[in-house]
A and B are shown apart, each in its own frame.
Chain A
């Protein structure tokens, strides 16, 4: 045991001294949250002040087309030709011209002149308003009350209720994407640390130090120490990355999503009220959040996820799944002399991982299909597939079954890998084949 501890210690220390490793540990969460922030920022359009001169030759929009916090509109009866020359000198950022034959649908009926592009959001803002005004205008022209139209629109949300074996009904929201992301993360982690074990084994073999070490410890102890060392390293890295990501996303969400959370609260209270009072509620008094429903959906899902359970399962599946794959990787690392030779052995190991990844994508659309079920039981794919299912609620017996099978399988692969490893590390010069490895299993 003392020797295994020494090996574990060295494995961890050698990586912790590695600058790339440290930089990656800190940089990866920064990059992830940075990317997320960037995406959010991109969806929230920039609000630059726009001072717009409007020449409305159609006479439809005066007093109806309005500005907002950052868009101010001034109507003018000037001629377009004159205005185009002078609008920027007069302090307007752009000039909107609406032709008299707009309602007949003439081409080029609305034109925007500018020196500096006011951006897409501005265009959408103006365009949406104009379309609505014309729509109402046309309805009125045909003597139709716009309220009838808007009241006959009804949006529907399907609420999912999962009935488990005991007959309990449980509100079920689809966590597909979040589940998939956890599965994908598992895929990445197993692959990353599996490769780390592979490299570490190969490094010892090619530098030939392995023969000195195995004259002091049993090859199996060396392999185990290495695998456990990298596993501890992985968990440390996962925790550090997780912590940094958590801090950053919390900071980020208070920055960007504070309003949204407050609005969500109002929205949820209103829904509660409607549920209680039924149709007696005066709907017109309620705040309307039509454009924010998607975001609310996401926020609500996040609030409902049992992060503790996800976290524990992730750690368990990572440990077992990692041990399962890394022992195979260690065996391969011991069998080859160079990274170039290793491809033929790594590919067959990658394939089941890839399959797991693809089944995980299937859980988004079809979380209860039999492919997904078997994928989450069979040890080659179960860490990835089960993680992608976990947020959807998995019966306990399935979890226990899947984890037990994975546990037994990793014991088996570790035992098998140990047999290959102790012969492989001392084999040089020969190009290894699967057949050769098969023979090693029977050496004394």
Chain B
């Protein structure tokens, strides 16, 4: 798939700190791309550069094969982390104004706004001032502002923060629908659950540098730690003996005579070998490999640990 966005060696410095240091990454067309990283890592700086709010000190950005230029702003939609609208302006006027700033004609903007108002069942809000709306309603308006010009590239900075669960779900559905309709979505988030749910690819930025990128599936695969959970009926001591030096038990839990054991196999030992070793001595109820969640990978990468401390992490099956 072609890349809609190529970021090449972008650096950005402010007077007292480096916001981005030689960051390069590619965003594939019609994908959902997660931009991850702890607070202050440089995500918002990168997003602002893509939106041409600020410029990079060095490096360049290629949008659909062209060097990023002011004409492109009409093809990009942006939802900033800090949301805001004119408090005293009516919803209709406001969205029309912002849509026109994105290059739509007034008539076209009106048509599309009507469509969105019907979709979200908010026709009666047209003449209301923003300050008269609830926070959830304001967020819906803000979302419409972001997508009304049907951007090819949608950039959402922390889209789920501040949204209530219902609106957050609505945003998720919209993101997926927009992608189905051919848009590319970049979003930054701390919410790792949503990353696994939505993202095709991610990049992890830490201390102004990209420390990881790739497809979510690949990343999770390469970060496998050879950890398994076995539930069985039988003798725990026998189980431990069978394991011998092939692995290390991280956690065990016994309920009546059912044991649940989380264990990390030694390098070179496979899941099949483990199964073969324990099959004769116990009655196996379940057997899973625990693949690290994006959350674990995030924490691990950011902490510069090279192994997952099993007792601290939450594995998903």
- Whether, in the assembled complex, B214 has its beta carbon less than 8 Å from a beta carbon of chain A, the answer is no
Give Cα distance in the complex from A272 to B65, angstroms.
85
Q: Is A439 a contact partner of B78 (Cβ separation < 8 A)?
A: no
Q: What are 12 A-B pairs with beta-carbon distances under 8 A? A: A13-B93, A14-B86, A204-B86, A208-B83, A209-B85, A211-B84, A212-B85, A215-B53, A422-B54, A439-B15, A444-B55, A444-B56
Q: Is B101 a contact partner of A6 (Cβ separation < 8 A)?
A: yes
* Binary contact readout B48-61 vs A (1 if CB under 8 angstroms, 0 otherwise): 10011111110000
- Whether, in the assembled complex, B305 has its beta carbon less than 8 Å from a beta carbon of chain A, the answer is no
Q: How far is the CB of A201 from chain B (nearest CB, A)?
A: 13
- Whether, in the assembled complex, A170 has its beta carbon less than 8 Å from a beta carbon of chain B, the answer is no
- Whether, in the assembled complex, A214 has its beta carbon less than 8 Å from a beta carbon of chain B, the answer is yes
Q: How large is the interface on A (under 10, 10 to 19, 20 to 34, 35 or more residues)?
A: 20 to 34
| A439-B15, A443-B14 given; A207·B53 CB < 8 A | no
Q: Is B15 a contact partner of A214 (Cβ separation < 8 A)?
A: no
Q: Is B86 a contact partner of A215 (Cβ separation < 8 A)?
A: no
B155's closest neighbor in chain A, by CB?
A: A215
Additional A-B contact list (17), CB under 8 Å, known A210-B84, A212-B84, A422-B54? A6-B101, A13-B93, A14-B88, A207-B87, A209-B84, A209-B85, A211-B80, A212-B78, A215-B53, A215-B76, A215-B78, A216-B98, A216-B102, A426-B53, A426-B54, A443-B54, A444-B54
Which one of A7, A422, A444 lies within 8 Å of B57 (CB-CB)? A444
Of all A-B residue pairs in the complex, the 4 with the closest CB atoms, nearest first, are: A208-B84, A216-B101, A211-B80, A215-B78
- Whether, in the assembled complex, A218 has its beta carbon less than 8 Å from a beta carbon of chain B, the answer is yes
Give Cα distance in the complex from A13 to B97, angstroms.
11
* Binary contact readout B69-104 vs A (1 if CB under 8 angstroms, 0 otherwise): 010011010101011111111000100011011100
Give Cα distance in the complex from A94 to B223, angstroms.
111
Q: How far is the CB of B16 from chain A (nearest CB, A)?
A: 9
- Whether, in the assembled complex, B178 has its beta carbon less than 8 Å from a beta carbon of chain A, the answer is no
- Whether, in the assembled complex, B195 has its beta carbon less than 8 Å from a beta carbon of chain A, the answer is no
Give Cα distance in the complex from A443 to B70, angstroms.
19
Interface positions of A from 307 to 361, Cβ below 8 Å from B: none
B82's closest neighbor in chain A, by CB?
A: A208
A217's closest neighbor in chain B, by CB?
A: B101
A442's closest neighbor in chain B, by CB?
A: B15
Q: Which residues of A contact B80 (CB under 8 A)?
A: 208, 211-212, 215
Which one of A14, A217, A219 lies within 8 Å of B89 (CB-CB)? A14
Q: Is B84 a contact partner of A207 (Cβ separation < 8 A)?
A: yes
Most buried by B among A209, A217, A219: A209
Q: How far is the CB of A21 from chain B (nearest CB, A)?
A: 12
Q: Which residues of A contact B93 (CB under 8 A)?
A: 13
Q: How far is the CB of B99 from chain A (nearest CB, A)?
A: 9
Q: Is A215 a contact partner of B52 (Cβ separation < 8 A)?
A: yes
- Whether, in the assembled complex, A3 has its beta carbon less than 8 Å from a beta carbon of chain B, the answer is yes
Q: Which residues of A contact B76 (CB under 8 A)?
A: 215
Q: Is A426 a contact partner of B48 (Cβ separation < 8 A)?
A: yes
Q: How far is the CB of B47 from chain A (nearest CB, A)?
A: 9
- Whether, in the assembled complex, B27 has its beta carbon less than 8 Å from a beta carbon of chain A, the answer is no
Q: Which residues of B contact A214 (CB under 8 A)?
A: 53
Q: Is B51 a contact partner of A215 (Cβ separation < 8 A)?
A: yes
Q: Is B97 a contact partner of A207 (Cβ separation < 8 A)?
A: no
